[in-house]
Structure 1
Amino acid sequence: MAALEEVDPSAVPEMVAKLRKAFNTGKTRPKQYRLHQLKCLLRMLEEKEDEIATAIYNDLRRSKEESMLGEFFSTKAELVTAINNLDEWMKPEYVKKDMTDMINSIYIQREPLGVVCVISSWNYPIVVLIQPVAAAIAAGNVVLLKPSDVSTHTSNLMMELIPQYLDPECYSVAAGGIPVAQAVLKEKFDHIIYTGSSGVGKIIMKAAAEHLTPVTLEMGGKSPCYVDSSANIKVAGKRIAWGKYLNAGQTCLAPDYVLCQKSVKDDLVASIKTAVKEFYGEDPRTSKSYARVINERHFTRVERLLKDGVTVMGGESDKDDLYIAPTLITDVKNDDAIMEDEIFGPILPIVTVDDLDGAIDYINGKEKPLVLYAFTTNKQVQKLLSTRTSSGGFTVNDVLVQFGVLTLPFGGVGNSGQGAYHGKFGFDTFSHKKACYITTSITEPLMSVRYPPFTTRNLKIASSLIVPKIKRRSYFRKAVMLCFIAVMVAFGLRRLGYSFF
């Protein structure tokens, strides 16, 4: 592992002050400035593709091909989507008006929050760093980037590349370990987004509360995968194996465990075994497509979980190589260590349940997951799983793919996170939605009912103007109201010196 390049923790306050000063000049607000920075990030991914892929490989032993599929393509898609849609996103959003506001201009204007802090994780060190940064730039903010100190090679490379491609006055990298993170969290930001564990998420939320700073937390959790007898078991096994063992299981969206009935279990186990052999060969250790655990500490944590249940596939490990084989475990108990926290490694437990109700009860007995997966062709089963459980997302008959759909929000709920981003949702996350109400003195006769001295007549008029009625198909009432408003406006204009007759 390369030595981590760190900024001096004492320099962090000055970095944040510099960013705030730049933001206050209004430099990041123009659309063309935002577009230029987004295009620079896209150019960085294209021009430095080999260097970035090599850094990721050195951190995770993940092949360039897997990184292209898992990081580069989706990050480029995020950037291109922002570039293509920024003009539309920045336009005022005009809202529905009632009768009394017909001549007023009422809209929502999205404006940048200010100084945004992006604290990323190590498992996908480009996606969870650059995608939130792209959203923050699109919204017109300045950004402090805090890459993970665990993925040292990628962090060091970001320290080098970001100042080359982005405006250094408005975008800074504060790489480093715990002292740097502590220094960062002491500063006041206008928004913090964090990807990682719920334990660290609580620390960040507590620090943000000192400054009343809003936070977006993406924290994963134990995402279940339900499989019933109506599913195509061969396809289910292949897709589950792909999603689970990608990046050696170090994916927050990966299926954490499988729920199925006993009648399905054996066929599903066979299907997953076949898929793993097809993906990684007889010995996954020799496959160029199989990654490694990030470091010794995480290796020890994951290896300890191998003692639970009955291993029906894999189970081999090598500490020197940070290798843990794609592993399948059955007969696990709810109180086993492997069923307590997110596994975040290449071990997949299979839990048997009596029926769908049993599966729903099992899911609801744990913290709300980032995503619930289901393999079933039964529409009623899909509906019951969706409506009787709570999760950040719900995906049927596939895994992970929902992350690539930029018209869907990506985010958790409860213990798996709060807030969301991706596409327009990211732009909105890093924007303040300013309510704008533009009126004129022409409406003064109508508005005068609000002034003292208060009378019963004026209160009745005000009530009719302010309190909406339960909707009915009453075109007559609308016509009367329009006539009333027209008369009042005409009366007001006449008092101002305008004459229509």
Structure 2
Amino acid sequence: MAASAGGALVMASEDKKPKAACFDGEAARSLVTELRETFDAGKTKSYEWRVSQLKSLLKLTKDHENDIIEALRTDLSKPVLEAFVSEIAMLKSSCEFTLKQLKRWMVPEKVKTSITTFPSSAEIVPEPLGVVLVISAWNYPFLLSLDPVIGAIAAGNAVILKPSEIAPATSSLLVKLLGEYMDSSAVKVIEGAVPETSALLEQKTMFPFKVNQMAKRKFLLKVTARRIIAGKWGMNNGQACISADHIITTKDFAPKLIDALKVELVKFYGNEPLVSEDLSRIVSSNHFARVTKLLDDDKVAGKIVHGGQKDQNNLKIAPTILLDVPEDCLMMNEEIFGPLLPIVTVNNLEDSFKIINSREKPLAAYIFTTNKRLKEAFVKNVSAGGLLINDVALHIANPYLPFGGVGESGMGSYHGRFSFDTFTHKKAVLYRSFAGDASARYPPYTPGKLKLLKALLSGNILGIIRALIGW
């Protein structure tokens, strides 16, 4: 059914029967939350799930070719041949091509490193954005609805499809068919017009997380502490977009890490860090007041385990470590951009992934560990602009890696070729000659022409010959 001007919708429900309901901001939030839970569970990330959904989409198109053609005729009076060639055949081709290429697309790309980061290795890992919203156009309502969905599914995302209300027959058919063929826990179709679209656009369909720093007990502890300090206080006294905002480590390991940090901090900045010439000042009195406000928050009283000294006249704040600050304190809900480093403790490091994924996507995230399984889990499950294993911030020095954010931590990336690509449109150019102009593409459309085009598009040589003979 089509949405009325009053703002009704049809959503593919779990029992696969369209159900009318009022769709407002609360309904949109609920929908996005449901899909986010599916995505966070990792269901959509596997190669097997992606392939199964693409195959289901292909089967949907093959099983219901006549229904699709009829819907397109109802909405746009599209001739059968045009509907088949411009929408159905193109959608099938896109789906088949993606199935053939997907495994190769998912393989991480190994890239070079520079002498600056020696010894090291690097790779670029393709990862899904999360929950994505596809808003379709009306002029090719079947193709332009599902072609983006193919890409979104191939990339491992959960998907909300909002078909165009201007093509209501196709829109209703998409609700019905996707409800029957696709995984309804990860792919939803919402019908409606401006109110429904606005409610969806108000949601953060690409979810935000924050800069995080993780620790693990089997470290070379001294090296770990020194690298954390270099990447936090050694970078403009924490006033850097990729300095660590907080550390997550286990409860039993936290005291060891704190002791190691204290020892190295004294070595670097002495017992009176406010007079150290190796420690940057806060950039302005306004920023000094902002950082001081975070430190003076009543909710973090008694949580300082090192530092905390301030010099307002010289705009200096000492390297400050805090332990087990509450989740709702100011410094855990704002970008610190200064010398404060809260430490959050968990029972095991796998729990830290939940903390990370409950927050804004970070510009950078770091982990220190010698555990191969934990490294792999970190790379697979943590979404950030960039990841670095066993160091802080140094990935920015590698020109073969892109640098940039994701979600609210930024859009696009740069460095080397990636800077070029960010500001480049890849223009498609197709050169053709005047030869080979087939009359089958032009009206009047006949059954013989349709038969020939189907045979040509499927690569069926025998069918092509039969079509030519019978034409």
1:266 and 1:419 mapped to 2: Cα distance? Answer: 39
Structure-1 residue corresponding to 2:289: 300
Structure-1 residue corresponding to 2:109: none
1:464 and 1:383 mapped to 2: Cα distance? Answer: 47
Structure-1 residue corresponding to 2:63: none
Corresponding position: 1:270 with 2:270:
no
Q: CA deviation at 1:465?
A: 4.2
Could you give the per-residue CA deviations for residues 287-314 of structure 1, whole angstroms, max 9, x where no partner exists? 2221111100000010122232511111
Q: CA deviation at 1:267?
A: 1.2
Corresponding position: 1:422 with 2:398:
no
Q: Which residue, out of 359, 366, 369, partners 1:366?
A: 359
Corresponding position: 1:239 with 2:227:
yes
Residues 293/282 of structure 1: CA separation in 2 closer, same or farther (3 Å cut): same
Structure-1 residue corresponding to 2:197: none
Q: CA deviation at 1:407?
A: 1.7
1:234 and 1:290 mapped to 2: Cα distance? Answer: 20
Structure-2 residue corresponding to 1:225: 213
Q: Which amino acid aligns with 2:271?
A: E
Structure-2 residue corresponding to 1:285: 274
Q: Which moved more, 1:454-463 or 1:388-397?
A: 454-463
Structure-1 residue corresponding to 2:8: none
Q: How many residues align?
A: 254
Q: Which residue, out of 343, 353, 367, partners 2:336?
A: 343
TM-score (norm 2): 0.51
2:292 and 2:246 mapped to 1: Cα distance? Answer: 16
Q: Which residue, out of 394, 403, 424, partners 1:401?
A: 394
Structure-1 residue corresponding to 2:376: 383
1:356 and 1:464 mapped to 2: Cα distance? Answer: 57
Residues 464/380 of structure 1: CA separation in 2 closer, same or farther (3 Å cut): farther
Residues 460/264 of structure 1: CA separation in 2 closer, same or farther (3 Å cut): farther
Q: Helix, strand or coil for the counterpart of 2:258?
A: helix
Higher RCO, Cα 8 Å, sep 6+:
1
**Alignment of structure 1 residues 53-92 onto 2, 5 Å:** none
Structure-1 residue corresponding to 2:447: 456
Q: CA deviation at 1:462?
A: 2.7
1:415 and 1:249 mapped to 2: Cα distance? Answer: 20
Structure-2 residue corresponding to 1:166: none
The 4+ residue runs of structure 1 with deviation greater than 4 A are 464-467
Could you give the per-residue CA deviations for residues 300-341 of structure 1, whole angstroms, max 9, x where no partner exists? 010122232511111001111010001111121111111011
Q: CA deviation at 1:449?
A: 2.3
Residues 237/466 of structure 1: CA separation in 2 closer, same or farther (3 Å cut): farther
Q: CA deviation at 1:460?
A: 3.5
Determine if contact 2:247/2:343 at 8 Å carries over to the other structure: yes
2:448 and 2:400 mapped to 1: Cα distance? Answer: 50
Structure-2 residue corresponding to 1:317: 310
Q: Which amino acid aligns with 2:374?
A: V
Could you give the per-residue CA deviations for residues 164-190 of structure 1, whole angstroms, max 9, x where no partner exists? xxxxxxxxxxxxxxxxxxxxxxxxxxx
Could you give the per-residue CA deviations for residues 367-419 of structure 1, whole angstroms, max 9, x where no partner exists? 11111111111121122222223211111111111111122111111111111
Could you give the per-residue CA deviations for residues 206-265 of structure 1, whole angstroms, max 9, x where no partner exists? xxxxxxxxxxxxxx9731111111222221111111111120100000111000001211
**Alignment of structure 1 residues 178-193 onto 2, 5 Å:** none
Determine if contact 1:222/1:343 at 8 Å carries over to the other structure: no
Corresponding position: 1:249 with 2:238:
yes
Q: Which residue, out of 422, 435, 438, partners 2:431?
A: 438
Determine if contact 1:238/1:272 at 8 Å carries over to the other structure: yes
Q: Helix, strand or coil for the counterpart of 1:260?
A: strand
Q: CA deviation at 1:282?
A: 2.5
Q: Which amino acid aligns with 2:239?
A: Q
Q: CA deviation at 1:464?
A: 4.4
Q: Which amino acid aligns with 1:275?
A: E
1:234 and 1:381 mapped to 2: Cα distance? Answer: 20
Corresponding position: 1:328 with 2:321:
yes
**Alignment of structure 1 residues 187-202 onto 2, 5 Å:** none
RMSD of aligned residue pairs (Cα, Å)? 2.5
**Alignment of structure 1 residues 46-57 onto 2, 5 Å:** none
TM-score (norm 1): 0.48
Consecutive unaligned residues of structure 2, counting only runs of 5 or more, are 1-92, 94-207
Q: Helix, strand or coil for the counterpart of 2:443?
A: coil
1:382 and 1:235 mapped to 2: Cα distance? Answer: 18
Residues 403/463 of structure 1: CA separation in 2 closer, same or farther (3 Å cut): farther
